[in-house]
Chain A
């Protein structure tokens, strides 16, 4: 089940890294898209009385794409620090709305989401653990592979190459004819979309959605995961997300000061392993191969 969470967060991190690794924009507001996707699912349950996972995904995609498009228009005018601060602030707007409008969103109690139907089939009659461990896990796995494939195509397409050129040298990219702002905005929307899908997938795993998932510290977790795995490599965020999920579970399970542990890991990581786990592994492999030759 932990792996299920890991895979879901991997989708989120994959989406996030489109912005960080490939476009060079560090967003501290991705919790907004995750939360919007998740709350969309919860709202669909609460108001539309819908129970199908496919409809959940559609709803989450629509909601997070809309949010990302809106936020993107404002945010892509800036880079670097201001981009980070602005994304943080905007995700906090959503957090505060979710927090205050408790008659809609359930406030800090959150909204419960019952087990949905997968592909129209009512599965795991009654037993939630059975559902999560088996049917839903394979569902997540399938979605994960789909997202990875999709992201791979995006990143290696001309669009993806254009993004990287913007990351490397914005002015030169503009001179070559790449429409910088438009590209950034599209990347922003796609990134938010992936994270929103992750949010929707996450909700049935967790059964409950609270405003905590909209708080900027949750965005920080997504950032942490991506950096842990290495944001310069494609598999980086995936490795990082899965690794982080286990790391967090281990830390939380073993000490009440788990934040300290994670914080130290992050600091050590940034100090000594800036390329993350994947990057460092790649470097070690290179050195090993070089020694052989």
Chain B
């Protein structure tokens, strides 16, 4: 029973990462109606940038500096997103949805090999930060402090995002554009700018998700593809386009996965997909989604 708290914390850990990725995916869909299949690779890009920054660029630096440099991955992913949106995605807003899926799939392949090209086929690790943060005793078992910090970052990000979307003026513009793009445009909103910013924000979140787990799990090729499917499960459960949905979905997926790993390792993944299918059958728009 002592392990219960460890499992709970691990669940929160994966939920934190999943929330960031799925939240970004959901945000991009909510505002732009684009399902970004390459989102997983933006997460991976964030992980690689952070791993490279912490592992190569700043190797041997002191722990506080490494912590400050942690969001490097998020910034990198955001910049990448800001470049990609006007060039690759904008031509597709007027076209059928199928084409967006195709172009983001192509983007996924391109990004995957770009990372391969930039950082080689081997995992890139930056474990200094994770190791040096020490561990703390929880219910009689040691638990890495770094994981607790990651959970905290996830929580802070959730609060920050909520505040951003619901309490700031830009958040109002964002929500207006997502609800009715033409009306917002008619009222004077520069939709193109909103789209770029929304996409950049979504990429920032994905990159942050990658950045925070880079020290504990190293950046590997293909981590993006695996993460993408999980984040799809999260948005299916929580509802596409909803941040609260992404949070709840991430918590559910994190908890179920951890329970699965602890007790039924064989069907751990299958249970998740089945859960997604059940949610889709019962509430097609997801728990918090809109019926659009």
Contact = CB atoms under 8 A, between A and B. Distances in A.
Given A260-B117, A266-B106, A82 B284 contact: yes
Contact of A270 (B106, B110, B284): B106
A101 B98 contact: no
The 10 closest A-B pairs by CB, nearest first: A263-B109, A266-B106, A96-B269, A260-B113, A263-B110, A93-B273, A267-B106, A259-B113, A259-B109, A257-B113
B133 interface: no
Contacts of B35: 81, 84-85
B2 interface: no
Given A217-B225, A220-B105, 20 more contacts: A26-B98, A28-B101, A74-B277, A74-B281, A80-B98, A85-B232, A88-B232, A89-B236, A89-B277, A93-B274, A97-B267, A100-B267, A100-B268, A257-B117, A259-B112, A260-B110, A260-B114, A263-B111, A270-B103, A270-B106
B107 interface: yes
A96 B88 CA distance: 32
B277 A267 contact: no
Contacts of A257: 113, 116-117
Given A86-B277, A92-B273, A266 B105 contact: yes
A77 B270 contact: no
A264 interface: yes
B229 A92 contact: yes
Interface of B: 35, 88, 91-92, 95, 97-99, 101-103, 105-114, 116-117, 225, 229, 232-233, 236, 240, 265-270, 273-274, 276-277, 280-281, 284
Interface in A92-138: 92-93, 96-97, 99-101
Interface of A: 20, 26, 28, 74, 77-78, 80-82, 84-86, 88-90, 92-93, 96-97, 99-101, 216-217, 220, 223-224, 227, 256-260, 262-267, 269-271, 274
Given A81-B35, A88-B232, A263-B113, A96 B270 contact: yes
A93 B110 contact: no
A276 B113 CA distance: 24
Contacts of A223: 102, 105
B88 A263 contact: no
Given A77-B284, A78-B284, A89-B236, A267 B110 contact: yes
Contacts of A74: 277, 280-281
Contacts of A267: 88, 103, 106-107, 110
10 contacts: A78-B280, A85-B35, A92-B273, A97-B267, A223-B102, A263-B106, A263-B107, A263-B111, A266-B102, A266-B109
B106 A89 contact: no
A93 B99 CA distance: 25
Nearest to B235: A85
A260 B232 contact: no
Contacts of A269: 106
A265 B113 CA distance: 14
User: Which of B92, B110, B276 gathers most chain A CB within 10 Å?
Assistant: B110
B106 A81 contact: no
Nearest to A84: B101
Contacts of A77: 281, 284
A266 B110 CA distance: 10
A191 B97 CA distance: 21
A259 B106 CA distance: 9
A100 B232 contact: no
A96 B273 contact: yes
A86 B280 contact: yes
B238 to A, nearest CB: 13
B234 to A, nearest CB: 11
A90 B277 contact: yes
Contacts of B225: 217
Contacts of B92: 270
User: Which of A77, A81, A224, A262 gathers most chain B CB within 10 Å?
Assistant: A81
Nearest to A86: B280
A89 B97 contact: no
Contacts of A216: 229
B99 A274 contact: yes
A271 B109 contact: no
A99 B102 CA distance: 27
Contacts of B269: 92-93, 96, 99-100
B117 A90 contact: no
Nearest to A227: B102
Nearest to A267: B106
A250 to B, nearest CB: 16
Contacts of B236: 85-86, 89
A219 to B, nearest CB: 10
Nearest to A220: B105
Contacts of A224: 102, 105
B109 A97 contact: no
B103 A271 contact: yes
A270 B105 CA distance: 11
Contacts of B268: 100
A27 to B, nearest CB: 11
Contacts of A264: 106, 110
A267 to B, nearest CB: 4
Nearest to A101: B266
A89 B273 contact: yes
Nearest to B278: A74
Given A85-B232, A96-B273, A257-B117, A262 B109 contact: yes
